[in-house]
A and B are shown apart, each in its own frame.
Chain A
Amino acid sequence: MPRYALDDDSVAVIIGSGAGGGTMAHELTRRGLKVVLLEAGRRESPASFSQNIGEAFSQLTWLEPRSQSGTWDAAHTSPNMPAWHCRTVGGTTVHWTAATPRLQEYEIRARSTYGDVAGTSLVDWPMEYAELKRWYFAAERRMGVTRRHGMPGMPASNNFKVLYAGARKVGYKRVHTNYLAINTKARDDRGGCIQQGFCAQGCKTAAKWSTLYTEIPRAEATGRLDLRTGCFATRIEHGADGRANAVVYRDDKGQEQRQRARIVCLAGNAIESARLLLLSASGRFPNGLANGSDQVGRNYCHHLTSFVWGIFDQPVYSWRGTTLAGVVEDENVHDPRRGFVGGYHLELVALDLPSWPLASLPYGWGRDYASIIDNYRNVAGILINGEDMARADNRITLSSTVKDSSGLPSAHIHCDTHPNDIAMRDHARQQGRRIYESVGAKRVVISEGSTATHQMGTARMSVDPSTGVTNPHGRAHEVPNLFLSDGSVLPTPGAANPTLTIVSLALRQAEHIAKELAAGRV
């Protein structure tokens, strides 16, 4: 692996090695660029992943404290960890459950489709759906998504059998084992799924796509990737010309380093990318780097979520098998007769015994509560994932109360639930209940939303520089060689788990960067 000099200003510096950053690292190195990839976490592997839940959590999770506020559920269900993502090589692609739905066309035209919904900051995406779809195809083929482009679907687990029977009984038609970036057979130099059920602890057969063991090794194979682990970016610097020219970071020995840069791609996830821009304020950018629009950190979305557990008289053994291998797509439409705009997915879900009461049951104690847990073998599960409304004041700012271990202000997440979110969530919960009751559930238990696992929107794309942070290719309006390569660029979230969209936009952005470089426009 090359080690580029800190004063080498011909390198591209990528911050974050997850879905966006890891993909960009491969895309830029294979096109001939020298890349420094900064990752705050350590490098793990399928061999080092642990199926001890507590150990895995400590190994992979972003554990630095944050503050939060607002009326969202996490404020009381998960106040000390309002968001759950990773700090490891591969980022959250190590922990994710690999659901890869596409956004629908109406979802990227949220403002035109839903209208002027009070209290929201809805916009239309600045691109045509045909353009996005072209890159969805590229990403799906790259990642190996089941049910797409001739890849067979995942076989049906016990948990899915229950979902399928109930969903069909209440009238749903589009019910299947989901679009998953998981090999069902060995493929792409990786193993096939053996239905372990520990997807969220790192896939020990590498069947689940992760940049850790796909994009990053391929970037390394070009001989042009300098991956620096344990390196936490603390500031992006710019010159008098307004161009980014260096990234300051704390290295794995706690020393401050400064890497010069020709191009900077920021892919720290929507929370940390926004935070880094805010931390990089300067005389020229007093509200944060590239933040003349005041949109950095704003329009934060995380999807509205809720668990619905059906308890039956007979065993389901829901923990056996791929965690999210099932979906009901029928509600992922715009049908305001339901009482809300936008739509949602009902996704199959299961949890290990240690996590289940802790992370997914409502508050309770005593004999009745314990009787729920006594039924762990007989439980089937749905995770609701719906489009939450983008709101200007749902935002990431710098915390005035909490600092991280390097002494910098942590991110503060403020999120107020919108009435549309509540109406959608109530509908989804009712439908989840109907699904399980239709096939004989003796009890249905529903939780509130918990820690946010999807982070989006905090550097949204726009045509007009006054209404967004980045242009339609994720390039900062005000800093021509700064790119956002993660979920922060999504102008609205739709109902789709965001990773496929992030990878697709990264592939597209890399092609754009190459063209712009060749034309002398970066």
Chain B
Amino acid sequence: MSGPQSRLDRREFVKSVTGVLTGVLVASMPFVSLLPSRAWAVDLSGLNDAEGAALAAMIKTLAPHDGLDDAAYAMVVGAIDRGAATPAAVADLKAGIASLGDGFALASEATRVERLKAIESTAFFQGTRVTTLLVLYNNPFAFAHFGYEGEAFSKGGYLARGFNDLRWLPEVPLAASGPMPF
């Protein structure tokens, strides 16, 4: 079935929005100038605003990278929210966030670390940590922030783009390596 009517059947439209995370992109991202607006929002389908903010603060405490755009952390929250696919999973997630304690999002880093240590052995903590590893470092914000250049084939690899441009150590003798192929 095709046409505008079918678009209303897509799952994103059927699930109601229960909360939202919002932010503004840092101006230094190279692709930002291409966007109509720097404001962003991540809709949540299981968590409310406060829970979303607490979870974002937890992820930021697990992986505090100063200067990494909040949008990257919001992507992790979005992935966790979407991953709670059943009412039971949503309830578990809400209980986990509740275990962070009151005012988690606004607490100092030292306090947030102490509260996380207290729940470190829980499935909620460990699951959140793994999802953070899976999502936080695999998006355009992270690539730009950490300097990873990503996909290489379309650019001809690194043969002429710096695969051997390091100069703070001596060049390797040919006997231990080999000639450039051109």
| Chain A contact residues, CB within 8 Å of chain B | 51-54, 146-147, 152-158, 160-162, 164-165, 175-177, 184-185, 192-198, 204-205, 314-317, 319-321, 352-354, 356-358, 365-367, 369-370, 373-374, 376-377, 439
Contact = CB atoms under 8 A, between A and B. Distances in A.
Contact of A153 (B61, B62, B153, B177): B177
Interface in B133-182: 133-134, 137-138, 142-143, 146-153, 156-159, 161-166, 168-172, 175-181
Given A370-B65, A374-B65, A377-B146, A317 B162 contact: yes
Given A317-B163, A366-B61, 9 more contacts: A155-B177, A156-B172, A160-B172, A161-B171, A175-B176, A177-B177, A195-B159, A196-B153, A366-B62
A330 B170 CA distance: 21
Given A155-B179, A354-B137, A373-B65, A161 B172 contact: yes
B127 interface: no
Contacts of B159: 193-195
Contacts of B179: 152, 155
Majority SS of interface residues in chain A?
A: loop
Interface string B104-136: 000001000100100000000000010001100
A321 B163 contact: yes
A295 B166 CA distance: 51
Nearest to A52: B151
A197 B137 contact: no
Given A184-B178, A314-B168, A352-B148, A370 B63 contact: yes
A164 B178 contact: no
A164 B176 contact: yes
Contacts of A147: 178
Contacts of A157: 163-164
A354 B164 CA distance: 22
Given A158-B163, A158-B165, A358-B133, A54 B138 contact: yes
A28 B7 CA distance: 54
B64 interface: yes
A365 B162 contact: no
B158 A196 contact: yes
Contacts of B169: 161-162, 164-165, 439
B110 to A, nearest CB: 10
